[in-house]
Amino acid sequence: MTAQGAPHGRGRPCLITRRARFSASHLYWLPELSDDDNRARFGPCSQAPGHGHNYELIVAMAGPLDANGMVLNLSEVKHAIKSEITAQLDFRSLNGVWPEFDLGLPGGSLPTTEALARVIWTRLVTHLPVVGIRLYESETLWADVLGDTMEAFVSIRTHFAAAHRLAREELSQADNEAIYGKCARPHGHGHNYLLDVTVRGQIEPRTGMVCDLAALQQLVEDLVVEPFDHTFLNKDVPHFASCVPTAENIALHIADILSAPVAATGARLHKVRLQESPNNAAEVFAETPQLDLMPQALEAALVS
């Protein structure tokens, strides 16, 4: 307690997160398109009666601490998320469950991850001081919404296995080991890399998509995973013949490779995150970094 009897930190701003889960199904099919066009546009996701996911929702809220040392009463937070979101969506088909996803109504869109995250924001913000929503459709696909706009961030995760050696050719082995330690050993070593690619853009009102997800996944596969997987980076990837393949340099090179192709999908490459090991990761922003406080807090919340 302070000298005046108030708890330390009262009135200071704080960010808190709350996690919730629900299971739901969805179908990507637009009535104005033919069956063939729907299949070409949405692939297996267009197959009736749809498919399901175990969704994970993270709600980030901010505000000053009260006299009880809390931003909000967590029981009230839990109740609001349950009553407004999870109780309405759990074990339901997302298509038409809310007016926003009724394709027969003006403004109705497909219930994509990013569109669903945005609608969750709009439904919670009148009940809670929401500053961000993260919605995981799976461990390899999630979306972030940071405000009441049509902009969203969509992230995909993939992986590749590769070997590398960290050494500068102009230095002696002793000097390289002084800089890079064991990573400078002559025959190299390998990693199972996890690659997260985050794109940013406007949610298209009808499809509910920031970009063609299948096209995004395919270009990452074609331009990064296939050329890098099961290679010795120093010898098999021309760029690293003269560039030390640290996690930082690999992430930077991937960002350079993907920036223009991602733009061709209608989105913008926001960042690339490359995890080399459980203890080591590098993150490169492809556009001017903004204060990504909410995504950072959500990442921290998910570590536990």
CB 233 within 8 A of CB 251: no
Helix axes 247-264, 213-220, angle to 10 degrees: 140
Q: Which residues contact residue 166 at a Cβ distance below 8 angstroms, ignoring those fewer than 6 apart?
A: 176, 179, 180, 183, 184, 244, 245, 246
Provide the 10 A C-beta neighbour count for residue 57: 21
Q: Which residue out of 100, 114, 137, 276 is catalytically annotated?
A: 276
Distance CA 112, CA 107 (A): 14
Q: Which residue out of 183, 243, 248, 283 is catalytically annotated?
A: 183
Clarify whether 164 is annotated catalytic: no
Strand 151-164 and strand 231-232: the pairing is: parallel
Q: Which residues contact residue 126 at a Cβ distance below 8 angstroms, ignoring those fewer than 6 apart?
A: none
- Where in 124-264 does DSSP place strands (E)? 130-138, 141-145, 151-164, 189-202, 231-232
Strand 92-93 and strand 13-26: the pairing is: parallel
**What residues are labeled active site?**
183, 230, 276
